[in-house]
Structure 1
Amino acid sequence: MKKLLLAFAMILPFYGFCQDLDFGITGGIGLYSGDLSPKEFAIYPNDYGYAAGIFLRQRYSRFIGIRTGLTLAKVMGDERNNGVKVDRGLNFQSNITEFSLMGEIHLFHIGYARNKTVISPYVAFGLGFFAFNPKINFGGQIIELRPLGTEGQGLEGYPNRYSRSQFNLPFGAGVNILINDRLTIGAEMIFRATLSDYLDDVSDAQLVYGDILTNKGELAARISNPLLDPANTENLTVSYARGGEHNDWYIIPALTLSWRIKNSGKSRSVYSKYMECPRF
């Protein structure tokens, strides 16, 4: 968290030299897609958390901008909610703190000159860095998953302990409605392709139940594979993988509100006098 705030603070002096600068807030929901989903990549509205953030946007022209953002979100997944592996019933939840830098390309503008109400769809893409901490609701208790080593992390022949901070690749699309010279409202959906398969603490690692039970303890074994009884010695040699090979995703659909705090007029000039076809 401190590293993310420091990175955001280091960007601020750069914006002091900008001519067109917006400050904005976002609010929406956090969605998850990964190993606990019916498919590796899709949108599952049954499992959702919150998402909120702030951003600074530099506009170089009516078509090009760069946005720096700090986002707080919560994502979650539960196999029982999505009708997949209901008998296993793994679940997770994680708070996310994300710092991102994205470019915005505005495709065209439709609007009026008098009140300068303009509709402007855009695409966005960039690079992000986020911190996460997966937890499970197990028997009514919220338990941190990484310290348990549910996939034998740290044991010989098993994966290393995963980092709780990682990069992601955000991309998506949205639309802005420029109400006047300074006020803009909008809506967007930004997908985050993470470079981690442990957002949910589940990966494609091949495990032996006895290794988890003996070296990580009964709680780790029960969470690792709830279908197996640790008291049954026949289960000690059972081999299994908990998830798939692809990295995890999270998606944030959000509403945005921004205010022009430095205005040269460059990025909001030359709008048509009447509603017309898109201006490219």
Structure 2
Amino acid sequence: MKKVNFQLLCFSFLILVLMSMSVQNGYAQKTKEYGFGLGVATYSGDIIRKLDPSQIGLQGTLFGRRKFDNVWSLRYGIALAGLNAADSVRPLDAVAQARNAYFKGLLVEGHVMMEYHFLDYLAPHSPVRYSPYGFFGIGYTMFFGEGQAYQGELAPDEDGDYSLSTPVIPFGLGVKYQLQERLFLSLEFGFRPTLSDFLDKIESDETHLPRFPVDPDDGSGGASTVPYGINYGNKADKDWYYFLGVTLSYSFHKIECFNY
């Protein structure tokens, strides 16, 4: 039910964005901006609970932007990122060390976001050439990875390939600086909460890994001797990933003074 409600929310937001674009179409055609960005990406979930600088990957993005005025803009784009994590690098506890899970893979994200700049730095007589900004939107992510959820899951000749897709809610903060009249440099940090608990290949479903598996033929008399028979996923939360990077963009719009 929550997933359905979220999808309805995303659809409603997208409709509002498209309506805003149509209303502003006459102006927005003169305020196009395009750019690219580079940076790093990491994740948090069942292997990493907090941001870990020792387990990061590279990320890049291509985007376009339409400005409605000097503070509001619509941004749309696609991002690629490499994510990885392993219990062997920095295990959370003894159970995680015994679990020995790991994953790595490529993430592809499409997104639409609204940006709000807190300073009117584009005004002709503005004393500053920069502005902090916040952004919020919707997106959709596909992830193609390989890994293992626990020690012994994979046969020696298996790579553990898997894939998933999930809606995401991108939001974050940044600072944008006007290098030249039409050239802009930004530094931003973005959060991406997902609706999936499978980004790291670790789920909370006990059917994947019984808590106390018993081998009736091992001579133990019914007692479990498998050390990895544990509930290894946290069903109380979903996986997140994060982007930190810089962007460079060029504006094709005609500089105008907006009246408020």
Of structures 1 and 2, the one with the larger relative CO (CA 8 A, separation 6+) is: 1
Q: Distance in 1 between matches of 2:139 and 2:157?
A: 31
Corresponding residue for residue 74 of structure 2: 66
Match of 1:77 among 85, 96, 101: 85
Deviation at residue 206 of structure 1 after TM alignment: 1.6
Counterpart of 2:166, as a letter, is: Q
1:188-245, Cα deviation, whole Å (9 max, x unpaired) = 001000111111111211237579x9xxxxxxxxxxxxxx9x9787447985321112
Corresponding residue for residue 144 of structure 1: 160
Given the two structures, how large is their TM-score scaled by the length of structure 1?
A: 0.69
Match of 1:243 among 214, 219, 233: 233
Corresponding residue for residue 217 of structure 1: none
Between the aligned residues of both structures, percent identity stands at 24
Q: How many residues align?
A: 223
Judge conservation of contact 1:177–1:186 (CA < 8 Å) in 2. yes
Judge conservation of contact 1:117–1:178 (CA < 8 Å) in 2. no
Counterpart of 2:240, as a letter, is: W
Is the alpha carbon distance of 1:172 and 1:26 closer, same or farther for their aligned partners in structure 2, counting shifts above 3 Å?
A: same
Corresponding residue for residue 30 of structure 2: 19
Is the alpha carbon distance of 1:179 and 1:243 closer, same or farther for their aligned partners in structure 2, counting shifts above 3 Å?
A: same
Match of 2:249 among 246, 252, 258: 258
Judge conservation of contact 1:112–1:118 (CA < 8 Å) in 2. no
Corresponding residue for residue 113 of structure 2: 102
Q: Distance in 2 between matches of 1:259 and 1:67?
A: 13
Q: Distance in 1 between matches of 2:140 and 2:208?
A: 33
Is the alpha carbon distance of 1:110 and 1:101 closer, same or farther for their aligned partners in structure 2, counting shifts above 3 Å?
A: closer
Judge conservation of contact 1:128–1:167 (CA < 8 Å) in 2. yes
Q: Which moved more, 1:132-141 or 1:173-182?
A: 132-141
Unaligned runs of 5+ in 1: 1-10, 147-162, 214-227, 271-279
Secondary structure at the aligned position of 1:206 is classed as coil
- Give 1:45-60 correspondences, 5 Å limit: 45-60=53-68
Aligned-CA RMSD value: 3.7
Counterpart of 1:67, as a letter, is: R
Counterpart of 1:49, as a letter, is: G
Match of 2:98 among 64, 80, 87: 87
Counterpart of 1:251, as a letter, is: Y
Corresponding residue for residue 197 of structure 1: 197
Judge conservation of contact 2:141–2:166 (CA < 8 Å) in 1. yes
Judge conservation of contact 1:53–1:69 (CA < 8 Å) in 2. yes
Deviation at residue 77 of structure 1 after TM alignment: 1.2
Counterpart of 1:205, as a letter, is: D
Judge conservation of contact 1:203–1:241 (CA < 8 Å) in 2. no
Q: Distance in 1 between matches of 2:101 and 2:58?
A: 21
Corresponding residue for residue 134 of structure 2: 123
Counterpart of 2:241, as a letter, is: Y
